[in-house]
Amino acid sequence: MLYPELKVKVISLAQESVTIRRMERRLRKQRARASKPEHIEEHQRHLDSLHAHRVHQVRGESRLSHLAYGFLRGVPYRKMEQVVRKNNEPDWERLESMVSRFGGRRNPGEVERWRLVPSQREQVCPLLDVV
């Protein structure tokens, strides 16, 4: 297996997301059954905290881990993410540090070149990918 530490990270982040989602469901049920306003507020506070952690920390880290794993395995960036919305670019510096941490020494700018290489489809039909 290539890059087992990074693969473990990808798997554990996916499992963390599943576990948080389960906990969110439990808290929603408990909130619905709660009778005292202070219990409802407490459940809502925990629910908001878990949701924010899953969406803002775990999701972003999971995306970067997948991209780093794909980069190290030689998968083209355009194959991994066909469409990226405006203001939703990955954190390229963080990705580069993750690649160097899990993949050993790399040439500076290698990740930059990787993300700018057009896909085979873009090379053949450049007008099809204009959004």
> Is residue 29 pLDDT above 50, yes or no?
yes
Query: pTM to 2 decimals?
Result: 0.81
pLDDT on residue 105: 75
Average pLDDT over residues 4-23: 97
Average pLDDT over residues 109-130: 65
Instruction: Show the DSSP H helices in the chain as ranges.
Output: 4-33, 37-52, 59-73, 77-80, 92-103, 110-116, 120-124
What does the alpha-carbon distance between residue 68 and residue 70 come to, in Å, rounded to a whole number? 5
Instruction: Give SS3 for 99.
Output: helix
pLDDT reading at 96 higher than 50: yes
